[in-house]
Structure 1
């Protein structure tokens, strides 16, 4: 339901470097609240995926069209009256600002922690095109959120269930928060 009197939608981006647990946490938030989930990696064009598979980090020129598409996806869901949760690295402030240009408001949950914990997680996952060798480039690219961005920061050392529970609680999300069209 959209228009006058419609409940506002919520749009949450679970962010962090590859291997931080973005997808797991975003899926958990979606399952517990009814927000519509999307994996930002699935929006990458084939050329971006090929670069990452080859161990070549993406530059801003490759990322900007992808980020604009993600912002557009969230805006389209907002227009439909559907709340969303997106797993997306959003490593730089400019990337987060591009995402903020989509729906009326975007909330960020930054999964942050030690490189060693993240490296261990990356080593255990199978079938992902982002090699652990790119973790260092992601950490170098990461611009930690500034206080004026109002980003919820959670420690990746917590279990996935604890991260989901903390995000839902601290963002004030609840079961059935979203209209489903």
Structure 2
């Protein structure tokens, strides 16, 4: 049984993860995301997001399910996350009224999807601000994910992005550790 599990033991390398340039459209990103599902091995969960790269190949953001859904309405892309207002003491009914006024999502779903297909990923992406070093303990990644309610963390080595660690992979590692006492399909023992 391995005493310590490191981030690099659980992460997916950038080469294994779906990526796209920031100037691409949502439609192009979703096509690339679909293609990425075909290449996964080792019983890994499929990607739920695509990493967005700048012109130099650096990771600058992530196009998540939420980001794609928000792209259905250009107003949702321009307005801040109103849910955070509840932490400031604003009543939920008032937040709902603001959302109803600001976020329309009106019209046929087909027309909303056609418009979203043309949105540039850099306009819809969530900037990547949280990262963790590949040699950090998995415990540190879990702490960061739990405290920040984060689905994934960019993994770095000497300041350069080398991979991503996802909640689904962390969960599988922890579940295997709980069930089997340290023997996992990923070879972690």
Relative contact order (C-alpha < 8 Å, sep 6+): which is higher?
A: 1
Q: TM-score, normalised by structure 2?
A: 0.26
- Which protein is richer in strand relative to its size? 2
Which of structures 1 and 2 has the bigger CA Rg?
2
Q: TM-score, normalised by structure 1?
A: 0.26
